[in-house]
Structure formats: C-alpha cells, structure tokens
Amino acid sequence: MSRARVARRIATAAAFGGGGISLVGGAAAGLVLTEMRYARRRLSGGEEDAEPPVAEGLYGTAFADSRRAPWRLAMLGDSTAAGLGVRRAGQTPGALLASGLAAASERPVELHNVALSGARSADLERQVSLLLTDPGRAPVPDACVIMIGANDVTGRVPPARSVKHLADAVARLRTAGCQVIVGTCPDLGSVEPVGQPLRWIARRLCRQLAAAQTIAVVELGGRTVSLGTLLGPEFAANPRELFGPDRYHPSAEGYATAAMAILPTLCAALGAWPEEERAEARRRERLLPVADAAVRAAAEGGTEVSAARAAGRRVPWALLSRRRRRPLPEQDQDHAPVHVTHTATSG
C-alpha cells in the first residue's frame, strides 16, 4: 500500500472516531518506546523534571506606537512548543516566532503559551479550552501554532486516535476564527542515542503520523509545516549544537531552526509577509492531491501544505510550498518579555 493511501486511511479513520489503525507491529513499537525511555533516563540528568522558561508577554514593543492592536499568538502542544531544554525565554520557539512576526509586520505581538511538557494530542482539548474560555486570555488569538506528536508515537497512541484529537482542536480553533499552523510530528529517528533498526522504525512512525496530521489539518483550513526531515538531517549532522543537554529536546539553535521554518507560514497566514516574498513563494508552489502533498511534505522538511482554492472556494487539492527561511531578528536573550495583564475586555 502506498504511503499516501496509508496516510489517507489514518485520516479517514480519525474522521470517523479515531480507530486503532496500527502502522507497525506492537512489538516493534514497544521496542522504540523502551529504547526512548532508556535513552532519556540515561541522559537526562534530572532535566526531565525541569520547567521551560516563561515566555508569555508582549514582543515587538518598539512598534507599540502603531495604531494597530497587537497580534495575539498562541502556542499549543508538548515540550517542544513549550521550549523545554533552553534556559532563557527569548530562546523558546514561541518567543522566537513572536519576535519574528513583530519584525515582519512592524506590529507588537502578545504571546500566550498553553503547551505542556509531556503532552499528547489528547491534551489539546484542555489547551484549546484554556485559550477560548479563560477570561484572562480573551479575546481569541489571531493565530495558533501547534507542535505535537512525538509523545503519541513513544506512548503508542493509535495514529488515528492521535489525529482525531488534533483535528478536533484545529476545528475548534478555526470555528473561533483563528489561523492555525501545525508543526507536524518531529523525526524521533534523529535522537542520537537510538540505534538501528529502531531509528528506522521511529522515522517511519513519525513520517506516517506527520502525513496523516497534514491531511486532517489542511482539510479543516489550517496549514502545516513539516519539521521531521527538516530537523532530522541537521540534528544528525550537528547533534551537539542542535540537541539540548538531555540530547532529546532541541537546543537554542535547534529551536531557532524550527522557528525559521514556521515563521514564513505564520506570517503568510496573517497576511504579514512582504509582497516580494509572496511572489517568490507562488513560483515555488505545486498543486497536488492532499494525500500526495502530505506524504511529499513529510519527506521534505520545511515544506508548507495549505488548502488550494479555485474562485475563492476550497478544492480537494493542496498547495505544496517551500518558503525561503527568514533570519530571526537579533534580540537580547537575557531580556525578558514585557508581561501584560489580560482581561476579558482587552482590545
């Protein structure tokens, strides 16, 4: 069975309740899980109990005189979205994206982060509820970035069930009016202590989940950016630079690599990307069936997939785009974000 058909079967099963389609045998998946847990215990040195820096607050204060209200950006997902593994708020992916969006749009950005270390896709329901129903976080974010999937793989969550939880979260956010960008499941085959053949099995699991995630998200009007093979070769080539002290979570340089890949898609979703770069992106787009685009993106890191449109209406095809990575703005990593008080009536 082709990879596109497998991804479509998972996404279809998710749409009908998230059945238990398995990508590899239970014994193989169990070996991957055991190896991952052993590696983390051996190398973490207590890092597993660490907390990510608090990065919520206002970024781009130099543009505070703008007549436009700040963008509201939210991060959801697991420890990668939270920024576990770095020591400074400015090194987390949320802070990097907020700073980059502020610089590109010349408009302040108010960052909310409800991601939870260790979270699986099932936790997205709670995270979305925090964003949409907590008066202290009103109003609704303009854009939400979700990074999820690794813990579903190591936790042996059936992929259709994992995709179902993600799809439900994306649907709620889209209904509320949010732009949604999903950084799909990372490549656990790049984790340094995991050896062959488990590394190959982990890579296969992650790519198939990433492709199924892409189908579900794009068909709900969201966008995805593939992180797996973007980070995989770079992490494999530079493990000391791109992995953090526990050699499992990204380092500051690793998070910057991921943020540079997501930032162009985030800006494009909000209409904040420079026109000349929009024209360049259009020249590099390909129109493909959604499942084919999803599989190709899973194999080509840094690739964006979004719904295609004809005469203003969505069609059952997808746009595969490779946007030029934009350098992140220089920032003082020791400078904390400006924290703001959120009220239900804030503008």
Query: How does residue 43 score in pLDDT terms, banded at 50, 70 and 90?
Result: very low
Beta-carbon contacts of residue 139 (< 8 Å; ≥ 6 apart): 72, 346
Beta-carbon contacts of residue 81 (< 8 Å; ≥ 6 apart): 75, 93, 94, 113, 115, 145, 146, 147, 148, 183
Beta bridge partner(s), residue 314: 309
Q: What is the pLDDT of residues 121-177, one digit of tens each?
A: 999 999 999 999 987 777 899 999 999 998 888 788 899 999 999 999 999 999 999
Is 249 a catalytic site residue? yes
pLDDT at residue 78, rounded to an integer: 92
Q: What is the pLDDT of residues 91-124, one digit of tens each?
A: 999 999 999 999 999 999 999 999 998 899 999 9
Q: Domains in the chain and their CATH numbers?
A: 3-276 (3.40.50.1110)
241 has a pLDDT exceeding 80:
no
Residue 115 structure tokens: 């991601």
The mean pLDDT of 5-10, rounded to a whole number, is 86
C-alpha distance from residue 99 to each of 11, 20, 151, 251, 262 (Å): 34, 40, 28, 18, 13
Portion of the chain with pLDDT greater than 70, in percent: 69
Closest C-alpha among 304, 333, 306, 336 to residue 318: 306
Please report which residue ranges of 45-180 form alpha helices under DSSP H. Answer: 79-82, 93-105, 124-133, 150-154, 159-175
Helix H or strand E encompassing 63:
none
Phi, psi angles (nearest 5°) of residue 115: -65, 150
Neighbours of 129 (CB within 10 A): 13
Q: What is the pLDDT of residues 66-89, one digit of tens each?
A: 678 999 999 999 988 999 888 899
Is 79 a catalytic site residue? yes
DSSP letters along 184-221, please?
Answer: PPP-GGG-TT--TTHHHHHHHHHHHHHHHHHHHHHHTT
Examine residue 197 and say whether the peptide bond preceding it is cis (omega within 30 degrees of 0). Answer: yes
pLDDT at residue 299, rounded to an integer: 84
Say what the pTM is: 0.84
Point out the catalytic residue in the list 249, 251, 292, 321: 249
Portion of the chain with pLDDT greater than 90, in percent: 43
- Cα 241 from Cα 254, distance rounded (Å): 7
pLDDT at residue 295, rounded to an integer: 92
Point out the catalytic residue in the list 79, 99, 190, 226: 79
The mean pLDDT of 283-290, rounded to a whole number, is 84
Is 346 a catalytic site residue? no
The mean pLDDT of 314-326, rounded to a whole number, is 77
320 has a pLDDT exceeding 80:
yes
Q: What is the pLDDT of residues 171-217, one digit of tens each?
A: 999 999 999 999 999 887 665 555 566 667 777 888 999 999 999 99
Query: How does residue 302 score in pLDDT terms, banded at 50, 70 and 90?
Result: confident
Q: What is the pLDDT of residues 54-72, one digit of tens each?
A: 999 999 999 987 678 999 9
- Cα 308 from Cα 317, distance rounded (Å): 6
Point out the catalytic residue in the list 99, 246, 251, 292: 246
Three-state secondary-structure class, residue 263:
helix
